[in-house]
Amino acid sequence: MTCTEDSHATIVSYGKPLTSTGESAARMQLTTLADEIRSQLSPPPHVIAFSLKPRAAIPLGGRRPDAVTWFDDAGAWATSTAFAAGPVASVAEYINAHPVDKDFGRTWDRALPLNRYLYESPAIGLHPAKDGMTPTFPHVLTSPSGLPDQSFYDQWQSSPFADEYLASMALHVAEKIGYSTTGPNFIGISFSTFDKLSHDYSPFSHEAQDVLIRLDRTLGDLFAGLDRIVGPGAYTVALTADHGVAPPPERSIQQGFDAGRISVQQLIARAEESMTKTLGAGTHVSQFAHDYLYLEPGVYEGLQANPTAMRTLVADLKTVPGVLRVITRDELAANHFEGDAAGRQSALSFFEGRSGDIMILFKPYWIESLNTTTHGSGYQYDTHVPVIFMGAGIAKGEYLMRVSPTDVAPTLAFLAGVTLPAAVAAAMRRSASSSDGTLAIAPSLVQLTAAAAFANRSVCSIGQPLRYA
């Protein structure tokens, strides 16, 4: 389950019939920037949000967007009855005129000459290509069946064509619903391809570099479109990323680092052995997911009542190769991690009732994934991301202060003249806005999230502590 799945809502397809569960913002605990500008400004601004993933598009668009659209893995653009009773006309118009299936058989090759790319190709640590994708350029987007099927749609979502589509669709919808004559309005786009591509190909691959080269061009096209629709200098752009990505362990090992892949089976087996020894026979572990052991009902309470069993479990788990640290949910809830950065990071990502029972921190360069690589740790390669502002109200310059993607929403809110709840607004960075004290209210706000290398999880976690991927 993801943070936006909602069985009370029904998926709305812009193409073939879909069977996915509905999606909504029902689990979101906080207000969003999009919600606040809609509720505070008069007339209410337009809000549109696009991504390949519902869990990326929905937190950007908030609870009442004019349009929120994502790509269903079965091969159709979609929204949900939580946001629209049926297809939104301006979105449907674009999708009908630009069928993704037209990219079947299209070739993706390097945008620049080979010698402009860093590192080796294929990337060290590349896992066997899935869904027919070849290990090096050129990539022809096809499928074993010879028809546009799930294999093709998977390849398409890992290609720069998907990013180009999102930007182009956003411009079309913005223009159609009146961004040129009203404002301020809001556009949220999450470019998901770099994330998916890096899982499969490694952030060091030529493919990853090419996605960023082409994303840079796509952003240029997007800004040119906004110049045309809204006017040059009449909008503000914020660009950030919700996380980074680890190097493939095989690459780190070659470089002499202590690195590897954690075996989930081994973790679970070690936990079961430990608790069988101390608590008695039976199944104790429900699953391991996103750094947590989830225990069967009542098992954690059994450990709480038996401190020796808890200590033994922690000690036993630490013997699994790659495990650095084991933290119980009581420790995470108590949050007594003064002077302990990793402990504080862990406590920040703990959400009582949703997170698991035992958190397991891996050593640097150790990952748990069957893909080429993944993300989700607190290490620099996973948490260092860009935060870039551009346009109306922004003073040009490079600011060498510590900032976070959570500063983006308060900064845009400030420029739009709306207030966010104190907890959110406290993070605002005045230094990013113009120094003469006459702050422009941007007629249009554009919030982009590029899943670029080097980041933390924050776009989903602004409203959604549940899951990121």
Residues in contact with Zn ion by the rule CB under 5 A: 195, 469
For Zn ion, which is the closer residue by CB, 38 or 457? 457
For Zn ion, which is the closer residue by CB, 246 or 412? 246
For Zn ion, which is the closer residue by CB, 78 or 455? 455
For Zn ion, which is the closer residue by CB, 193 or 346? 193
* CB 430, min distance to Zn ion, A: 33
For Zn ion, which is the closer residue by CB, 184 or 248? 248
For Zn ion, which is the closer residue by CB, 195 or 407? 195
Residue 380 has a CB neighbour count (10 Å cut-off) of: 10
* CB 155, min distance to Zn ion, A: 17
For Zn ion, which is the closer residue by CB, 41 or 469? 469
Please state the φ and ψ torsions of residue 163, each to the nearest 5 degrees.
-65, -45
Per residue in 243-261, is it b (16+ CB within 10 Å) or e — as a string?
bbbbbbbbbbbeeeeebbb
* CB 50, min distance to Zn ion, A: 18
* CB 374, min distance to Zn ion, A: 6
| One-letter-per-residue 3-state SS of the chain | CCCCEEEEEEEEECCCCCCCEEECCCCCCCCCHHHHHHHHCCCCCCEEEEECCHHHHHHHHCCCCCEEEEEECCCEEEEECCCCCCCCHHHHHHHHHCCHHHHCCCEECCCCCHHHCCCCCCCCCCCCCCCCCCCCCCEECCCCCCCCCHHHHHHHHCCHHHHHHHHHHHHHHHHHCCCCCCCCEEEEEEECHHHHHHHHHCCCCHHHHHHHHHHHHHHHHHHHHHHHHCCCCCEEEEEECCCCCCCCHHHHHHCCCCCEECCHHHHHHHHHHHHHHHHCCCCCEEEEECCEEEECCCHHHHHHCCHHHHHHHHHHHCCCCCEEEEEEHHHHHHCCCCCCHHHHHHHHCCCCCCCCCEEEEECCCEECCCCCCCCCCCCHHHHCCCEEEEECCECCCCCCCCCCHHHHHHHHHHHHCCCCCHHHHCCCCHHHECCCCCCCCCCEEEEEEECCCCCCCHHHHHHCCCCCC
* CB 110, min distance to Zn ion, A: 23
For Zn ion, which is the closer residue by CB, 261 or 329? 261
Distances (CA, A) of 221 to 15, 71, 167, 315: 26, 21, 8, 54
* CB 105, min distance to Zn ion, A: 27
For Zn ion, which is the closer residue by CB, 289 or 427? 289
* CB 291, min distance to Zn ion, A: 14
* CB 468, min distance to Zn ion, A: 7
Q: Which residue is nearest to Zn ion (CB)?
A: 195
For Zn ion, which is the closer residue by CB, 195 or 291? 195
* CB 195, min distance to Zn ion, A: 4
For residues 74 and 79, what is the distance between their CA atoms, to the nearest angstrom?
Answer: 14
* CB 73, min distance to Zn ion, A: 14
* CB 199, min distance to Zn ion, A: 5
For Zn ion, which is the closer residue by CB, 84 or 469? 469
Residue 206 has a CB neighbour count (10 Å cut-off) of: 23
